């Protein structure tokens, strides 16, 4: 199965919220142990920047949800 990056974040709190929301909406981000950081399913980290990946067939819709949720979370910070 091919996985696609749908979001790149630096805030671990936003990452956890986004993963929970994706799962709640029926998407399937990579699980810990498949690839990623332990206790942070589907997330790969490189120098403090983290990627959230979902199956290719879910990527289009998952990216729409992720983009909107990230916008809302970041607007709340300002």
What's the confidence (pLDDT) of residue 50? 80
What's the confidence (pLDDT) of residue 16? 85
- Enclosing H/E stretch for 8: strand 3-9
Q: Are 17 and 50 in contact (CB under 8 A)?
A: no
Q: For the chain, give the mean pLDDT.
A: 81
CB under 8 Å, gap of 24 or more: what pairs does 15-18 form? 15/40, 15/43, 15/50, 15/52, 16/40, 17/69, 17/73, 18/52, 18/66, 18/69, 18/70, 18/73
Alpha helices in the chain (DSSP H): 12-24, 59-77
What's the confidence (pLDDT) of residue 27? 96
What's the confidence (pLDDT) of residue 58? 96
pLDDT band at 33, cuts 50/70/90? very low
Q: Which residue has the higher pLDDT, 57 or 45?
A: 57
Query: Is pLDDT of 74 > 50?
Result: yes
Q: What is the arithmetic mean of pLDDT over 24-37? A: 72
């Amino acid at each position: 199965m091919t996985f696609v990056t749908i979001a790149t974040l630096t805030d671990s709190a936003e990452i956890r919220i986004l993963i929970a929301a994706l799962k709640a909406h029926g998407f399937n981000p990579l699980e810990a142990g498949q690839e990623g950081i332990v206790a942070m399913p589907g997330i790969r980290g490189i120098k403090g920047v983290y990627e959230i990946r979902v199956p290719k067939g879910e990527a289009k819709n998952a990216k729409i949800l992720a983009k909107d949720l990230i916008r809302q979370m970041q607007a709340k910070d300002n």
